[in-house]
Amino acid sequence: MTRSARSVMEELEDIVIAYGQSDEFSFVFKRTSTWFKRRASKLMTHVASQFSSSYVFYWKVFFGEQPLLYPPGFDGRVVLYPSNHNLRDYLSWRQADCHINNLYNTVFWTLVQKGGLTTAQAEDRLKGTLAADKNEILFSEFDINYNTEPALHRKGTTLIWEKRDETVIKRKKLPSGEEKDVAATRSRRRVQAHHCDIIGEQFWEEHPDVLEDDNC
């Protein structure tokens, strides 16, 4: 999923940030984007088709010879948010949903796989429980501290553009006529993945250039 999302961002460079969890990804175009003359249908279909084709294209990289059993498809919709505040509220909602779903699934499958319950029994056990109750089940019954579970699953994946220095070897011709390999460092923008909190201020303070100002 993340590799497919990265492919979408590399194809549509006006996407400034993407957030993914479970079977979905959200893509944010910069406020001043003029891609496809800002036609919602064009933006949506291009993102969905690029994501779907990338999912198939990179399948073997992650799953080897395990066959893809049916053609995957992804739908989408376009939403226009009036301000960065509204946009961040949306992204925060998606990450909060990631936490709720992953905590439930972690406890549910732990009860089934380690606790010996059936899926129906596990579902019944968790009815009406709060986050604190689920954390207590994991810790007291299975010695699992949910906060030490992989951040990828607890926080989801945030993709942004960042500059990275890379070293390349170039063949240079010397005055003597000889050729020599010379290392050269250059800075390039690449899509980088983060598994961190995006609800609070720290992420946005560390990456102030992700979102354009509201008055652009």
Which parts are annotated binding residues? 22-23
List beta partners, residue 164. 188
Q: Which long-range contacts (C-beta less than 8 Å, at least 24 apart) are formed by 110-113? A: 110/137, 110/138, 110/142, 110/144, 111/137
Instruction: Report the binding-site residues for GTP.
Output: 22-23
List beta partners, residue 168. 184
Instruction: Report the binding-site residues for Mg(2+).
Output: 23
Q: Which residues contact 24 (CB under 8 A, 6 or more apart)?
A: 94
- Residue count of the chain: 216
Side-by-side strand order, sheet with 15-21: 24-29, 15-21, 157-173, 179-194
Are 143 and 130 in contact by the 8 Å Cβ rule? The answer is: no
Which is nearest to 25 in space by CA: 143, 193, 190, 203?
Answer: 193
b or e along 29-42 (b: 16 or more beta carbons within 10 Å of the residue's beta carbon)?
A: bbbebeeeeeeeee
